């Protein structure tokens, strides 16, 4: 299950999804509520938990009842974290890519909550996220394909979700999942001006993982989907091996039961034949 970032939708990530699917797995990449033509969440459900519940309802509608590898980028990482926390039986492992939720930002020498980061500072760093020119020529067209329609269809939703993302603090949820033993991978790009390093490090501390730093900006996986596929290959393969093991154990058990029953029937037949011969 792949969950997209703010203001985007599944079209933006088509190359990313193809790289994951190349590992021989089924990938579900929905447009979250308020994006890509999907209607907004009802006001009472508008929260990260509400988004997580929506994804679980989608899994149910698709008939997917086994645990998933849950991958979330940016805002989608916040939804993924909440889903893994609220519905642990639905998640096999969690992969956070330049994710919200660390709630830490440095202003000068002072470490602050990211909710205190002014909007102009976010905007100041955004242009740097799509440059240099080689990256911009690749990233801007795929972002525009979803961003512009979303601005037209759901402008209010973009603002609401942006504020939801700014306020997200998911460190306690990650600590809980760490204690549960859920496999968690956290990836961050060294030139990310949207998610500060302090926020990434806070996620890592809460999760008890070292974290992986790659070269690039907030949208690095859009610029280099092949490299993204390489980075998460191990997560996908480990999950596939765990799934195959789980599916294989009942099969072997059933074979063993059938074999025992066959031997029992054969033994019973022999004993019955012996009794008839004695008679």
Give the helix ranges, DSSP H, for the chain: 14-21, 48-61, 75-86, 119-130, 133-153, 155-167, 171-180, 197-207, 220-223, 225-231, 233-278
Confidence at residue 277, expressed as pLDDT on a 0 to 100 scale: 41
Whole-number Å distance between alpha carbons of 69 and 1: 6
Residues 6+ apart with CB under 8 A from 87: 52, 56
pTM more than 0.75: yes
Whole-number Å distance between alpha carbons of 5 and 77: 8
Tokens 């074999």, residue located: 259
pLDDT tens digits for 153-175? 878 888 899 889 988 999 999 99
The C-alpha angle 149, 3, 50, rounded to 5 degrees, equals 90
Residues 6+ apart with CB under 8 A from 108: none
Residue 62 has pLDDT above 60, yes or no: yes
Class of residue 221 by CB neighbours under 10 A (exposed 0-12, middle 13-18, buried 19+): buried
Structural domains of the chain, ranges and CATH numbers in brackets: 2-231 (3.40.50.1820)
Whole-number Å distance between alpha carbons of 99 and 122: 15
Residue 255 has pLDDT above 70, yes or no: no
Task: Give, for 2, the enclosing helix (H) or strand (E).
Answer: strand 2-3
The dihedral of CA 188, 192, 195, 197: what is its sign? positive
Whole-number Å distance between alpha carbons of 270 and 277: 10
φ, ψ of residue 107 to 5 degrees: the values are: -115, 105
With cut-offs at 50, 70 and 90, classify the pLDDT of residue 10. Answer: confident
With cut-offs at 50, 70 and 90, classify the pLDDT of residue 198. Answer: very high
Residue pair 194/167 in contact (Cβ under 8 Å)? The answer is no
The C-alpha angle 188, 190, 193, rounded to 5 degrees, equals 90
- Which has the closest alpha carbon to 207: 239, 170, 234? 170
More confident residue, 275 or 117: 117
Residue 7 has pLDDT above 60, yes or no: yes
């Amino acid at each position: 299950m792949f969950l997209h970032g703010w203001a985007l939708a599944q079209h933006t990530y088509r190359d990313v999804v193809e790289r994951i699917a190349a590992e021989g797995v089924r990938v579900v990449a929905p447009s979250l509520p308020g994006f890509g033509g999907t209607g907004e969440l009802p006001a009472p459900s508008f929260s990260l938990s509400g988004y997580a519940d929506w994804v679980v309802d989608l899994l149910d509608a698709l008939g997917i009842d086994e645990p998933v590898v849950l991958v979330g980028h940016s805002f989608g990482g916040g939804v993924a974290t909440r889903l893994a926390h609220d519905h642990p039986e639905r998640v096999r492992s969690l992969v956070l890519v330049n994710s919200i939720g660390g709630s830490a930002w440095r202003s000068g020498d002072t470490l602050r909550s990211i909710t205190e980061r002014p909007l102009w500072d976010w905007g100041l760093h955004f242009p740097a996220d799509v440059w240099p020119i080689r990256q911009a020529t690749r990233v801007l067209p795929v972002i525009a394909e979803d961003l512009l329609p979303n601005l037209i269809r759901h402008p209010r939703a973009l603002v609401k979700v942006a504020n939801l993302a700014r306020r997200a603090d998911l460190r306690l949820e990650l600590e809980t999942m760490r204690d549960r033993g859920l496999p968690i991978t956290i990836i961050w790009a060294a030139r990310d001006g949207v998610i500060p390093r302090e926020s990434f490090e806070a996620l890592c501390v809460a999760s008890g993982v070292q974290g992986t730093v790659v070269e690039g900006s907030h949208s690095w996986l859009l610029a280099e989907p092949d490299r993204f596929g390489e980075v998460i290959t191990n997560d996908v393969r480990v999950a596939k091996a765990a799934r195959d093991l789980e599916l294989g154990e009942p099969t072997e058990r059933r074979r063993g039961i059938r074999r025992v029953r066959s031997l029992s029937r054969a033994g019973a037949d022999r004993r019955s034949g012996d009794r008839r011969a004695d008679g």
